[in-house]
């Protein structure tokens, strides 16, 4: 193993990304087709980098809009490159006792025990765990899922001969492991009142729009002026958003939501929506560019924290764009909206996902104490 590590240790992420970018997915497809034509084993001439590139960018669906989004691909690439770098850089700490290097391949040289040891190291002894504390269960689950999917792909493609993905320990996310992102109407109103009173039109408008639409962070940041449209049938405006899985949905806008968009654009000093270029971002930073999901999250979290509102002291988690998606679900439920309608409005694929958003509310509403009667417990109820 150290022979292989000696060649590749301390390779920075930028180098891995460059190696990937140097390989055209079209070229890989041609090589694969030639291999098949010549009757050879698929992927027999692929390297580890080739396989990673193929996994990330291969075409799986007839309709391209059904492929993984660019952001999903980037997230997979980031996690897998980190996985590779950690195996190479911390091989001794992880105890990668590889006896023989197979075809100069890291992936072909791994066994289930190495995967298990890596998972334990990541959870307990990785630099992040030692300096910042353990990863959350949700984060560990996400990292494990991505790596496991990749290793399973390598096995099913017969690039590796052992199902090493089965070496991972199971990670079960319990209800208590999820961060509490609940936010009710009273807290949202406090935030809106505060930012309106200090004339912070940007924060006010972002919070108002996110709450009234239930949009995802990425959906918000992708919006262009042309995505704001008028429906003559219902006489209302709506936003056409591109969600997960490149699925589009239409979100109606109340009049005050429209007002918030106009207020935002006026505060930024950019064209009113009636005269703006359709390809221009609907919401922009102070530089005139569209928000990135990470920047919007950092900006909104910081701005809300700096408000110093009293209720923030009692929260165990910060408030960011995704919190207002939960607020949309909770406020909809309190308005008597059926959970199935909430699911469709949020763009969830499964009802169980929406129920997770509402589980703490359901738990409180369905508590036995609410059924107690005064004729049983008298004046003390």
Look at the domain 185-365 and name its fold.
Answer: hpI Integrase; Chain A (1.10.443)
Strand-pair category, 236-242 with 248-253: antiparallel
For the beta carbon of residue 274, count every other beta carbon within 10 angstroms: 7
Q: What does the domain layout of the chain look like in residue ranges?
A: 2-177, 185-365
pLDDT at residue 280 in the model:
96
Lowest mean pLDDT across 64-73, 102-111, 313-322? 64-73
In the block, tokens 């109820």 appear at 381
Per-residue burial over 156-191, b if 16 or more Cβ lie within 10 Å, else e, is: eeebbeeebbebbeebeeeeeeeeebbbeeebbeeb
Of 121, 315, 319, residue with least CA distance to 203: 319
Lowest mean pLDDT among 15-19, 76-80, 273-277, 334-338: 15-19
What is the C-alpha separation between 334 and 189, in angstroms, rounded? 15
**Residue 4 in this model has a pLDDT that exceeds 70:** no
- Whole-number Å distance between alpha carbons of 40 and 315: 60
Highest mean pLDDT: which of 22-36, 164-178, 309-323?
A: 309-323
Confidence band (pLDDT; 50, 70, 90) for 5? very low
Residues sharing a CB contact under 8 Å with residue 281, sequence separation 6 or more, in sequence order:
223, 224, 225, 289, 290, 291
- At 230 the pLDDT is 92
Taking the CA of residue 239 as centre, how many other CA atoms within 13 Å lie in the half-sphere pointing to its CB? 30
**pLDDT recorded at residue 9:** 43
Give me the residues paired with residue 253 across strands. Answer: 237
Neighbours of 195 (CB within 10 A): 21
Give the residue among 121, 146, 144 at the shortest CA–CA distance from 52: 146
Q: Answer left, alpha or beta for residue 43, where phi above 0 means left and psi between -120 and 50 means alpha.
A: left
Enter the tokens of residue 355: 């129920």
- Cα–Cα separations (whole angstroms), residue 36 to 58, 108, 311: 16, 21, 63
């Amino acid at each position: 193993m150290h022979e292989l590590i000696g060649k590749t240790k301390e390779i920075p992420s930028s180098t891995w990304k460059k190696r990937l970018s140097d390989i055209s997915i079209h070229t890989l497809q041609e090589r694969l087709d030639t291999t098949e034509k010549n009757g050879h084993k698929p992927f027999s001439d692929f390297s580890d980098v080739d396989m990673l590139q193929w996994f990330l960018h291969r075409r799986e669906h007839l309709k391209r809009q059904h492929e993984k989004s660019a952001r999903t691909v980037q997230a997979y690439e980031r996690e897998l490159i980190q996985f590779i770098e950690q195996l190479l850089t911390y091989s001794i700490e992880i105890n990668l006792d590889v006896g023989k290097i197979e075809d100069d391949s890291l992936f072909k040289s791994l066994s289930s025990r190495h995967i298990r040891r890596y998972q334990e190291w990541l959870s307990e002894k990785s630099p992040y765990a030692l300096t910042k504390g353990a990863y959350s269960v949700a984060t560990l689950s996400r990292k494990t899922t991505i790596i496991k999917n990749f290793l399973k792909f390598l096995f099913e493609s017969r690039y590796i001969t052992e199902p090493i993905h089965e070496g991972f320990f199971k990670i079960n996310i319990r209800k208590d492991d999820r961060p509490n992102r609940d936010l009710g109407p009273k807290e949202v109103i406090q935030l809106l009142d505060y930012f309106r009173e200090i004339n912070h039109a940007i924060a006010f408008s972002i919070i108002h729009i996110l709450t009234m639409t239930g949009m995802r962070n990425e959906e918000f940041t992708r919006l262009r002026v042309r995505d704001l449209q008028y429906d003559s049938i219902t006489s209302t405006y709506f936003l056409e958003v591109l969600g997960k899985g490149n699925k589009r949905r239409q979100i109606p806008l109340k009049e005050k939501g429209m007002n918030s968009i106009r207020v935002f654009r006026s505060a930024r000093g950019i064209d009113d929506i009636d005269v703006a270029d359709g390809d221009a971002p609907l919401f922009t930073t102070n530089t005139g560019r569209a928000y990135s999901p990470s920047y919007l999250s950092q900006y909104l979290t910081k701005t809300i924290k700096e408000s110093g509102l009293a209720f923030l002291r009692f929260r165990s988690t910060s408030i960011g764009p995704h919190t207002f998606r939960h607020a949309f679900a909770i406020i909809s439920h309190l308005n008597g909206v059926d959970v199935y309608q909430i699911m469709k409005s949020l763009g969830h694929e499964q009802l169980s996902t929406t129920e997770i958003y509402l589980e703490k509310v359901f738990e409180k509403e369905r508590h036995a104490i609410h059924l107690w009667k005064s004729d049983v417990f008298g004046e003390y109820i």
